[in-house]
Structure 1
């Protein structure tokens, strides 16, 4: 029996083994692998079309030097979308509701973009800390503010993904619990509540895809500043 609504976000264990590792590995097993045939089936064709379109959309405004990140960012996007969508199924666990996992994705990738900028164009990378035309007395203050803003970026990436998915799951569970309780007492209100629950589930499906896209899009914007 669930004692708290937040128990659904606790990482499940089986015989002392954390099942979050299984939840992370499972999406890659579900994807079909390309074959050596001249023609692929419809599922592989659709998968290839989706990956190509997403890659073009993300890397269109980025300089050619950053296009080598296309495979990494596209794989991350597909991975996050799959995890978020699988987490909407009953009796499943969503790893991206864990801030630690999201930070494990955000911090290394953000740090890699910063290191690339400092290595390839250190002047331009440091120039982002001081906007052009800043009055002299405000220079120290703005440098401190921009530095803090730079180091908050990975935290904002992880917290945004965690908070949106956690809030959606909590709202779905609250409304589902309300519909279940109202069913024997007020059937009409329970049906209306179930309708709201269905619409909210559709919204949560959209949020699961949009938040994965926003996560990768923001990383691509950070990369654009440093290539």
Structure 2
């Protein structure tokens, strides 16, 4: 029983070929592409409005040099949001429940922000390691602590996204299994459990959207410190 709970997090395989690459690439086909018409359809208009609002909200407090990252953060938000929400559908696979994928996204983005900081303003980037006015005996300890806190950022990014999605999926499967088992003997309790499962599903949709936004927001905050 314990093993079956985690089967949903295994990458699907067909004829020995992992299908995680297909699961990552397929959702992009769901979004409409812009056309040469003067008037776009409602779906394309809503998509454009969402991207514009998100980009403006994300980059409003950021300095002008950081605005060039808008072309990266907006598709990243759409990518994570699509992966998280589509993974809640039956008989689907959620690539963002894999820690390897999330770390593969978090570490390069974090490293890019650090490299930008050391390249554009090295003195300001090094100032984060040692706060101003630190007593001399505490300098080595604070340098070690601040360095560890800097290096742990990508790990926190990847683990946060993985843990939130994995916990939600496991809880939904546990409640769904309980409702299925209780249906023959305790119909009333099973119906109440199904109602709880419906509420939990709505909550998980909100969590999937929020976690995608939090991931991109934290990366933008790291960038804001270095531009």
Q: What range is the shorter-chain TM-score in?
A: over 0.9
| Residue 3 of structure 1, CA deviation | 4.5
Large movers: runs of 4+ above 3 Å: none
Aligned CA-pair RMSD: 1.1
TM score, norm. by length of structure 1 = 0.98
Q: Alignment partner of 1:34: what SS?
A: coil
1:173 matched residue in structure 2: 173
Is 1:23 the counterpart of 2:23 in the alignment? yes
Q: How does 1:47-126 map to 2 (within 5 A)?
A: 47-126=47-126
- Distance in 1 (CA, whole Å) between partners of 2:93 and 2:139 is 48
- Distance in 2 (CA, whole Å) between partners of 1:130 and 1:191 is 58
1:217 matched residue in structure 2: 217
Is 1:42 the counterpart of 2:35 in the alignment? no
Give CA deviations for 1:110-129 in whole Å, capped at 9, x if unaligned: 10000000000000000001
| Residue 135 of structure 1, CA deviation | 1.5
- Distance in 2 (CA, whole Å) between partners of 1:3 and 1:112 is 38
- Distance in 1 (CA, whole Å) between partners of 2:131 and 2:209 is 34
1:132 matched residue in structure 2: 132
Is 1:154 the counterpart of 2:121 in the alignment? no
1:195 matched residue in structure 2: 195
| Residue 131 of structure 1, CA deviation | 1.4
Note the residue ranges of structure 1 that are not aligned, 5 or more in a row.
none
Q: Alignment partner of 2:152: what SS?
A: helix
- How many residues align? The count is 227
TM score, norm. by length of structure 2 = 0.98
| Residue 211 of structure 1, CA deviation | 0.2
Q: Alignment partner of 1:4: what SS?
A: helix
- Distance in 1 (CA, whole Å) between partners of 2:114 and 2:205 is 32
- Distance in 2 (CA, whole Å) between partners of 1:71 and 1:175 is 40
